[in-house]
Structure 1
Amino acid sequence: MPNIPLSKPDITQLEIDAVLDVLHSDTLSIGPKVEEFEARCAKISSRRHAIAVSSGTAGLHCVMVAGGIGPEHEVITTPFSFVASANSILFVDAKPVFVDIDPKTLNMDVDKVAAAITPKTKAIVAVECFGHPGGMVELEQLAQKHELALIEDACEGFGGHVDTPRGDRAIGSFGRASVFGFYPNKQITTGEGGMIVTDDDKIAAMCRSLRNQGRDGMSWLAHQRLGYNYRLDELSAAMGVVQCQRLEELLENRRRVAQLYFDRLMTNRYLILPTVMDDLHMSWFVFVVRLNDLFEPGERDEVIRLLRAEGIGCNNYFPPIHLQPYMVEKYGYKAGDFPICEYVSSRTLALPFFTKMTEKQVLAVCATLDRVLEKVLMARKGRF
């Protein structure tokens, strides 16, 4: 039986040596490695400022506070994401306003975003779902038209880019500020960690203060505002520096694995594969397929159970945010509120995906998936 995990970080001796160098130094926090990591991320995202933080979630929270978003405001975002994108809005007591998604890109439907704007709307939090930048150009234009802050949740898209009439745009270069996340399943990892990138001097200065207990670089015990302990340590930053140096290698290997899946699964009559577009250059975060209409609601979960039983890591990316218990309790959301999101969510299947995945492993995953899909359909026919 294969034992293939859903994800696995790509750590080499280079990262290990970099961390050991920090351990042999006198500085474990607020030091030169954080500054170097910030400079590299600013360059990769074509931004003037980068502020390292303890997680992508912490980064989104800081941007919300720095952007002046509060209880009187609404913020438009997607229901199809990891919960942090919506939670960051709740952290500042603003109201998340969900809009349904485009079934191809799985990002927010731009037309529905436009229809959701009200006098209370302060910002748009746009997520590049699974690293797909579809709609970002249009959302930026929409935000500018209505004088709204566009906050780019780029936590799943580090290293991607978009071809535009005005030239190449990096994921992370859209809107007032963007946030990356570096959890172990991401394109690069620092273990835990995140990065705010922006061209706005005031946002940058505020985020630097917020991550450091509200200090403004004066006395260590002088706190100009309510702040948080959201700093990134030197050990994590050292690993991030090396991962940035290896970025093209890491992205190329992820593209390689994605192509192996496409080659093997493109003729599978039970699956809908990710949508790729020539001008939207994904930075592959995960490889998520969808079961088509030959399957009934609920059968995806049986597929997951059977795959795991055969040693294949997999998951349901993502359950709808609006149907999470705390969202239902707070806002009264119910099934049917965002039908495209709910339909897609009930059929998504994240397959094993990591940079060092071999062709043999991909073929083993696909062969097992073929058997499991047939088994689930045959089991249903046996019930009639």
Structure 2
Amino acid sequence: MSAPAPIPLSQPSITAHEREAVASVMQSTRLSMGPALERFEAKMAEHCGVDHAVGVSSGTAALHCIVRALNLPESGTVITTPYSFVASANVLVYEGLTPQFVDIDPATYNIDPARIEAAITPDTCAILAVDVFGRPAPWPRLREIADAHNLALIADSCEALGASIGGTPIGAWGDAAGFGFYPNKQITTGEGGCITTNDAALAETCRSLRNQGRATRGQMRHVRLGYNYRLSELNAALGAAQLDRLDDILKARACASTRYHEALAPLSNTLRRPSQTLANAKRSWFVYVIELPAPWTRTHRDALCDALQADGIGCAPYFPAIHLQPLYRERFGFREGAFPHCESVAARTLALPFFAEITETQIRRVVDALRTHLPTCAPESNTMPLSTS
């Protein structure tokens, strides 16, 4: 009897609608900076409730353009989270800025606003917060803090398209927001990203930055140092078609999270499940991440990850602490113990297979494998039951 097919950690939701949209570009003579990009940007602006959207080549490029366009002082520091994909900090380093990490709220995994003001110094020029795993950061409070201290507010919303707070879409908070559309995201452009903002001048600067610093499209006149961050027509057409299906994709992902939540209920004394509902906010399901309880350590978590992968089940540690990455240790001197909440969570979180078309059979297989391997990978004594966040 053959082994069951592997379950990937993620996969995009692609239908004939997307294939037809990309094929139509191939039948044209315009492969860059054309009507597909304009359609994609218009749809993104509409979905996020903003005046301007600027398509770029990646979520990292989106954040980099925002940081650059804000013209932050090179010697400045930017308050941000250590629990994120490394790009949210890298874009600051690109511009000679120093990340000023602030520990997370372990209940939400987002930056803890109660710790921010104590971290503000005369060199602080901005706050860059992340909607971790599609859960909105505490934007109303972050906006209050930024305004009170005259700081720029940057939203890394690469994982949160479709989320909202009090009915206001993610993408409309902050001076600008960056989105990413890698194939594991809610929608994909293959590779690509987008900037959303209500600031016309910032949007225009970002349009120039993505196109080698040109003053206007189609002119060989470069008014600033720019980059090749353009989003091709093929990528934009795919993204626009995906946005047509965004509501259905988000519903399917939310349904998958509910199935996981119910299937994992018998293991709720052994692991922590992400919550299904939030107060006055809507999550956009990017990944499904469980948290193993203390006294589990990184070693135990990694052993569980290896066991699941050996069974053909895609999984990954989400996220490693940024400040403990080799680059950040070497350049800034960070060491263990600097941000204990982040470090504790980073050592014990694990992303399970998650995508719009995941089946009940696949979810049951993941849960059965967890039931098998949790006892063999666990430390000798486990801890009390955990509540959801």
Shift, 1:113, TM fit: 1.2
Tell me the amino acid that sits aligned with residue 39 of structure 1: A
Matches within 5 A, 1:187-336: 187-217=186-216, 220-268=219-267, 269-275=269-275, 276-336=277-337
Partner of 1:341: 342
CA displacement 1:183-218 (0-9 Å, x = unmatched): 000000000000000001110110010001001116
- Aligned counterpart, 2:177: 178
SS at structure 1 position matched to 2:284: coil
Extract structure 1 runs of 4+ deviating beyond 3 A. none
Residue in structure 2 matched with residue 89 of structure 1 by the alignment: 92
2:157 corresponds in structure 1 to: 154
CA distance in structure 2 between the aligned counterparts of 1:175 and 1:145, rounded to whole angstroms? 14
Q: Deviations over 1:144-179 (max 9, x none)?
A: 11111100000000011112xxxx110111010001
Q: Which residue of 2 aligns with 1:136?
A: 139
SS of the residue corresponding to residue 203 of structure 2 reads helix
Deviations 1:116-136 (A, max 9, x none): 111111110010000001412
The reply on whether 1:111 has 2:114 as its aligned counterpart is yes
Amino acid at match of 1:215: R
Percent sequence identity is: 48
**Cα distance change on mapping 1:303 and 1:94 into 2, 3 Å:** same
Shift of 1:295: 2.7
- The whole-number CA distance in structure 2 between the counterparts of 1:219 and 1:22 is 20
Aligned partner of 1:274: which letter? Answer: P
Match of residue 102 from structure 1:
105
**1:374 is the counterpart of 2:368:** no
State the one-letter code of the partner of 1:336. G
* RMSD of equivalent CA atoms: 1.2
Cα distance in 2 for partners of 1:312, 1:84 equals: 26
Alpha carbons of 1:224 and 1:296: their partners in 2 closer, same or farther (altered >3 Å)?
A: closer
Unaligned runs of 5+ in 1: none
The residue type equivalent to 2:141 in the other structure is E
Shift of 1:220: 2.7
Q: Secondary structure at the match of 2:370?
A: helix
SS of the aligned residue for 1:52 comes to strand
In the alignment, is residue 120 of structure 1 matched against residue 123 of structure 2? yes
Which ranges in structure 2 are unaligned for 5 or more consecutive residues?
Answer: 382-389
| d(CA) in 1 for partners of 2:297, 2:185 | 31
Counterparts of 1:22-33 in structure 2 under 5 Å?
22-33=25-36
Q: Match of 1:372, SS?
A: helix
AA matched with 1:49? H
- Aligned letter for 2:211? N
**Is the 2:297–2:348 Cα contact (8 Å) retained in structure 1?**
no
3-state secondary structure, aligned to 1:271: coil
Provide the TM-score with structure 2 as the length reference.
Answer: 0.95
Cα pair 1:134 1:280 within 8 Å, conserved = no
Instruction: Rate the CA distance shift 1:84–1:354 in 2: closer, same or farther, 3 A.
Output: same
Return the alpha-carbon distance in structure 2 between the equivalents of residues 244 and 93 of structure 1: 35
CA contact (8 A) 1:79 1:98 kept: yes
Report the CA distance between 1:375 and its aligned residue. 1.8
Give the drift of 1:297: 4.4
Write the letter of the residue equivalent to 1:187.
Q
Q: TM-score with structure 1 length normalisation?
A: 0.96
Distance 1:247 1:236 in 2: 16
